[in-house]
Amino acid sequence: MSRPEHISPPQFFYDEKEAAKYNSSSRIVKVQEELSNRAIELLNLPEDKEAFILDVGCGSGLSGGASAISQLIILLFSQPNAVFMGMAISRAGRAWPRLGRSRHQRDSSGDVFLQDMGGGLPFRPGVFDGCISISAIQWLCYSDKKEHTARKRLTRFFTSLYTCLKRGSRAVLQLYPETPEQMEEISGTAMRCGFSGGLVIDFPNSAKAKKFYLCLFAGYDAQQQVPQGLGVGATAGQISYEGRAKNQRVSAVKERYRKQGKKVKSDSKFTGRKRAGKF
């Protein structure tokens, strides 16, 4: 399956037809909500303050409107006055459902700007408490005009993002890099523009569940550490494997038979394994 970035520019790819597909697919909505929840978690927002959050490439609002960043903050931090600002490149239905009017009919507080993130962010300095972006930043690495270059567009974006964030705040950018070189180009440009931080990879050993989050710090008062990805180190035990669960079920049945006085063979390395097929 070809990547959307190879088909056409985002302002043309996300037309009315694609918008309807995005907003009607329960699987896409679920995935986007999970990504948004994880991005909000990595932002590590203070619980005792209101938050003004920027959602770059908000599209149909599946990360901002449908999930409602402000709604997430209400649910997670009990801050009913929290507000977010969305930014999208397409005027199609995917990008402009009007916040709080999604198929979930959830309330949200904020506005959406029509703006190409590669042209910079048109906001005042130090206005946002944080920034998230879901599945959007990798588009900056692809050119649809002769004058567009990845390095210039990335530099313009990260420079303006650093300016409009408050010092000490975070930006969490979830993305799908096509190659390691592309990921290095994006993160390297962010560091040259003043950010610190690094890459957070959830479930790095899984081909399907692996997710990349670029966690950036816009200046800091004290030393900040890049969060650890899910499925790494101490949290690796959260991933379950069917083989182990099957062995546990077999052992439980055998233990029950032993208590009933039945003759049961002792456990071995072959316990729970499927027998070889017969000719």
Write out pLDDT tens, residues 245-261: 667 788 888 888 887 77
Q: Are residues 231 and 252 in the same domain?
A: no
pLDDT above 80: residue 274: no
Q: Are residues 216 and 156 in the same domain?
A: yes
Q: Are residues 179 and 119 in the same domain?
A: yes
Q: Are residues 134 and 93 in the same domain?
A: yes
Note down the domain range covering 270: 240-279
R_g (Cα) of the chain, nearest Å: 23
pLDDT tens-place string over residues 4-24:
655 655 555 555 666 666 666
The mean pLDDT of 194-198, rounded to a whole number, is: 91
- pLDDT, averaged across the chain: 74
CATH of the domain at 120: 3.40.50.150
Domains: count for the chain: 2
Q: Are residues 261 and 139 in the same domain?
A: no
Q: Are residues 244 and 222 in the same domain?
A: no
The mean pLDDT of 169-185, rounded to a whole number, is: 91
Q: Are residues 147 and 221 in the same domain?
A: yes
pLDDT tens-place string over residues 79-88:
344 577 888 7
Q: Are residues 160 and 63 in the same domain?
A: yes
Q: Are residues 168 and 266 in the same domain?
A: no
Q: Are residues 178 and 225 in the same domain?
A: yes
